[in-house]
Every structure is written in C-alpha cells, then in structure tokens.
C-alpha cells in the first residue's frame, strides 16, 4: 500500500484536480483510480483550457462542431461534457460502493455568472441535465450571489461543489446555506438522503498573498509566520465543520439521513518552491475531508508521502497563528475577499481563452 492509498484508509478522499481526454483515453485516470486511491475528479476553466491546448483527441470533434454549431460556448460544452460523462462512468463503481458519498466529478458554471444568483441556478440546472449522471457535482462560486444560488440548488436537489473559498468566514456562510437549503428541502417533503455538497477551500493562493504582506511588514515575527496561514486556516475550518455537522446545527437533518458538507482542500500544489511539496497534504489528513491534487502533487504523495491523521492536531496552535497574523494587521477575511475576486477574474480569463480556442 502506497501513501496515497493509505490516506484513503484514514477517511480522506483523494480527487484528481485535472481532466482531459488524454487522461481518459490513455488509461491514466483509470490507473490512478486503481493504484493511487483517486476517487473523484475536479475540473475548472483553466484545466479545460490546458486540455484543449495539449490533448490531440479534440481536433476532429472541434472541426465537426465548427461546421455545425455556431455558438462557441455550446461548442465548448459539446467537447467537455463527454469527458465529464466518461469520468463519471469510470467513477460510478466508487460512487455506488460508497453509497453516494464519493466518486464525483465536478463541472463548473461559466464564471461570468459568479455575481448573478438567478442565472447560476438556471445554468447549474441546465448543466446537470445535460451531463445526466448521478455522480456529477456542479461547481458554483462562493461569492455572496453564488452562496444564494447554492442554497436554492440544494432545495432543488442539485448536488454542488462550492468553489473559490478562501477564508473561514466564507466557509461558514456556505455551511449555513447548506443547512438552510436542506431544511427547506426536508420541509417540502423531499428526500435529503441523496443530497451531496462539498466546500472547496483554496490554500496555496492564501499563503502567496499573506506571505507578501508579511514580507512587507518585515519583522522577525512576521517573517516567522510565512507559509503557515493556509494550513492554520484549514485546521480552524475543520474545527468549525465538526462543530456544525457533528453538533446541534445538523442533528435533526442527520436523523433524516442527510450527509454533511465535506471540506475539500483545493489549490494544493505549492506555489513557493522553497516549501515542502506536500505542505497542503500531510498536515491536513483527516476524516470526512477531500484533498484534490494536481498530478504532480499526487505523484509526490505516492512517492514519498507520510500518511497519518494530522488534521485534528494543532488546532490551538493554528488559532494562535491566526491571532498573531491579526495582531500584525493581516486580516484573513480581507485576504479571502480579495482572493475570491481575483479567483473569479482568473477563471473568467481562462474561460474566455477557452472559448477562443473553440472559435
């Protein structure tokens, strides 16, 4: 058993933060499922932009679509939805074996609707119907408008991956929306047992921004906190998760068979080469969580990772580190708000380039 497989025995799911037709047709994804413990897949506009630019398997379909489909966004969907469906089918045995708790593939609503709740709801329903797979998660952003859409979609029974979360405050807002959505769904007499949602908390981007602020402060105390903010934030978010979903707020829904909204660690490839390559993996292994890994980070985990339950340790130290950051004037809420705006803009730029590739 390699370290990645060992991690999954400890109660954490490992999802691949990548998808392309090459991964599917070359058997790479199937091998990762069999040998590296991969039990889900996440995608985003940047991932599909890279897929269309590098995989040789799209050219024929794109030429056909250019001849028959005038709308570039529909061309894009016609290219990538079959990949989503194929990945869902590949992971269906995982989904069924887990009782619907794992084995999901994520597809994102177009980023331009990030600040339009009604359109996000409409687009999520449309994409869900187009993919037509039980183990699909539609990705919506954790903007205030996206959170409102998420609540409405939960009432409707659409399973959601809330993405672009960068602070514990944003995570808490998403948890609260899930509770409200499930409660409304149950009150309407609908079944909540098949409802599934995850909350994707981005990590490496947090350290990149916080480290810049700490370097500008320049004191020994500030510099000693570099590279620690994201892991500390994740540990506190998990503490909030336990208090919410293993406490009074979720008790009545749990009795009706509802499942918690798992935290998903995203942006887990290190951006600072001075940091350990598993900085956002080894300290954050815990039950009822997901880590979505780029190919390189997954390979590092398989090669030299150490698997142990680490997520619930060091919460007091994490809280002290966040308090120290606040004392220095680093506002994690402000960091989260800025990074969320930047994240939406980045995904929208990737989506624009993606559509240009299909034009």
pLDDT digits (tens, 9 = 90+) for 160-171: 999 999 999 999
Per-residue pLDDT in tens (0 to 9) along the chain, 359 residues: 999 999 999 999 999 999 999 999 999 999 999 999 999 999 998 999 999 999 999 999 999 999 999 999 999 999 999 999 999 999 999 999 999 999 999 999 999 999 999 999 999 999 999 999 999 999 999 999 999 999 999 999 999 999 999 999 999 999 999 999 999 999 999 999 999 999 999 999 999 999 999 999 999 999 999 999 999 999 999 999 999 999 999 999 999 999 999 999 999 999 999 999 999 999 999 999 999 999 999 999 999 999 999 999 999 999 999 999 999 999 999 999 999 999 999 999 999 998 998 98
In terms of Cβ atoms closer than 10 Å to its own Cβ (0-12, 13-18, 19+), residue 63 is exposed
Give the number of domains in the chain. Answer: 1
DSSP state of 128: H
**CATH number, residue 24:** 3.20.20.70
- Whether 235 is catalytic is no
Tokens 């609260």, residue located? 176
Which residue of the set 139, 196, 271, 296 is catalytic? 139
Nearest of 68, 82, 66, 12 to residue 281 by alpha carbon:
12
Tokens of 352: 């624009």
What is the domain extent for residue 237?
A: 3-358
Q: Determine the pLDDT at residue 19.
A: 97
The stretches of the chain forming alpha helices (DSSP H) are 3-9, 21-25, 28-35, 45-54, 59-68, 72-97, 117-131, 144-156, 168-187, 204-217, 220-224, 229-245, 248-255, 295-304, 315-327, 332-358
- Dihedral sign of CA atoms 48, 52, 57, 63 in order: positive
182-211 pLDDT tens trace: 999 999 999 999 999 999 999 999 999 999
């Amino acid at each position: 058993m390699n370290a990645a497989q060992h991690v999954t025995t400890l109660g954490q799911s490992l999802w691949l933060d990548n998808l392309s037709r090459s991964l599917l047709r070359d058997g790479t994804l199937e091998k990762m499922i069999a040998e590296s413990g991969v039990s889900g897949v996440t995608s985003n506009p940047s991932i599909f932009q890279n897929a269309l630019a590098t995989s040789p398997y799209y050219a024929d379909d794109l030429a056909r679509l250019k001849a028959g489909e005038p709308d570039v966004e529909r061309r894009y969907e016609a290219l990538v939805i079959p990949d989503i469906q194929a990945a869902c089918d590949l992971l269906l045995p995982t989904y069924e074996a887990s009782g619907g708790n794992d084995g999901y593939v994520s597809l994102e609503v177009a980023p331009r609707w990030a600040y339009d709740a009604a359109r996000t709801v409409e687009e999520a329903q449309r994409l869900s119907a187009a993919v037509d797979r039980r183990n699909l998660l539609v990705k919506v952003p954790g903007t205030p408008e996206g959170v409102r859409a998420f609540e409405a979609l939960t009432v409707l029974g659409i399973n959601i991956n809330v993405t672009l979360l960068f602070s514990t405050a944003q995570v808490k807002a998403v948890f609260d929306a899930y509770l409200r959505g499930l409660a409304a769904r149950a009150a309407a007499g609908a079944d909540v047992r098949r409802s599934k949602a995850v909350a994707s908390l981005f990590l490496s981007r947090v350290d990149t921004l916080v480290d810049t602020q700490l370097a500008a402060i320049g004191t020994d105390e500030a510099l000693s906190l570099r590279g620690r903010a994201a892991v500390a934030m994740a540990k506190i978010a998990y503490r909030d998760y336990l208090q919410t979903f293993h406490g009074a707020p979720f008790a009545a829904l749990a009795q009706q068979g509802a499942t918690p909204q798992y935290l998903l660690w995203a942006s887990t490839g290190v951006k600072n080469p001075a940091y350990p390559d598993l900085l956002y993996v080894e300290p954050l292994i815990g039950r009822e969580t997901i880590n979505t890994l780029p190919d390189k980070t997954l390979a590092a985990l398989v090669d030299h990772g150490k698997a142990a339950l680490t997520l619930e340790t060091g919460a007091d130290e994490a809280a002290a580190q966040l308090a120290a950051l606040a004392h220095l004037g680093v506002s994690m809420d402000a960091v989260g708000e800025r990074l969320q705006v930047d994240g939406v803009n980045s995904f929208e730029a990737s989506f624009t380039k993606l559509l240009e590739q299909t034009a």
